Amino acid sequence: MQTAHELFIHEMQDMLSAERKLTEALQEQEENASRPELKKAFASHRAQTEKQVERLEQAFEQIGEEPEETECKGIEGLIEEYQTFVEEEDPAEDIIDVFSIGAASKVESYEIRAYESLIEMAKMMGHTKAQRLLQQNLKEEQATLKKMQALSKRIKPQNMGMEEEEMEEQSSQRSSGRGRSRKAA
């Protein structure tokens, strides 16, 4: 590979593959989630991701390239991590919910950085229409990350896995402002 154009297309193909894989993964996340509000969040995020795939395909068209895929190992790794956790750790329902929110936030952070970098490249190369489409996707990813962050503040695990005394000690330390890192179990 020699040119910025080739690099840009490579990165676009990477993102197209990522978004398509995420469409499937979001369905799994929706099925595995137990809280209705979380199921709803994943369902609407899935619908949004399908639109993002369409925008990427349009961006390819704008540049005069075929919408081909390059395997996105980064996103695939994050998806695999999620699946392995659910299949192998025998997690309780509320733990799956908390884990899913964390996994989705990691994906969003990755996507945000990827789109920012694609937008920089599109701008540099004067692909104005493609740039606009990418910017729409970026905006949605940023909004989804915020939504996940809000959900993670609300949805807490039921069992903290700590003794009652230890929890009381921690909360009294928090209120007195003295932080102490928790000993590893």
Three-class DSSP category at 129: helix
> Which residue's Cβ lies closest to Fe ion?
52
Whole-angstrom Cα distance, residue 151 to residue 45? 14
Binding mask 88-117 for Fe ion (x = CB under 5 A): -----------------------x------
Sign of CA dihedral 106, 110, 115, 120: positive
Site size for Fe ion, by CB under 5 A? 3
The smaller minimum CB distance to Fe ion, of residues 112 and 125, is found at 112
Q: Determine phi and psi for 3, rounding to 5 degrees.
A: -115, 160
The smaller minimum CB distance to Fe ion, of residues 13 and 52, is found at 52
Least separation in angstroms between residue 115's CB and Fe ion is: 8
Number of helical H runs and strand E runs in the chain: 6, 0
The smaller minimum CB distance to Fe ion, of residues 21 and 127, is found at 21
Least separation in angstroms between residue 10's CB and Fe ion is: 18
The smaller minimum CB distance to Fe ion, of residues 32 and 49, is found at 49
Q: Does 52 bind Fe ion (CB under 5 A)?
A: yes
Q: Does 29 bind Fe ion (CB under 5 A)?
A: no
CB 97 within 8 A of CB 33: yes
Contact region with Fe ion (CB under 5 A), list: 52-60, 92-100, 116-124, 176-184: 52-60
CA angle 28, 30, 32 (to 5 degrees): 65
* Buried/exposed 115-132: b ≥16 CB within 10 Å, e otherwise: beebbebbeeeebeebbe
The smaller minimum CB distance to Fe ion, of residues 77 and 157, is found at 77
Q: Does 13 bind Fe ion (CB under 5 A)?
A: no
Q: CB within 8 A of 30, min separation 6: which ones?
A: 39, 42, 43, 46
Least separation in angstroms between residue 52's CB and Fe ion is: 5
Using CB under 5 A, list all residues that contact Fe ion: 49, 52, 111
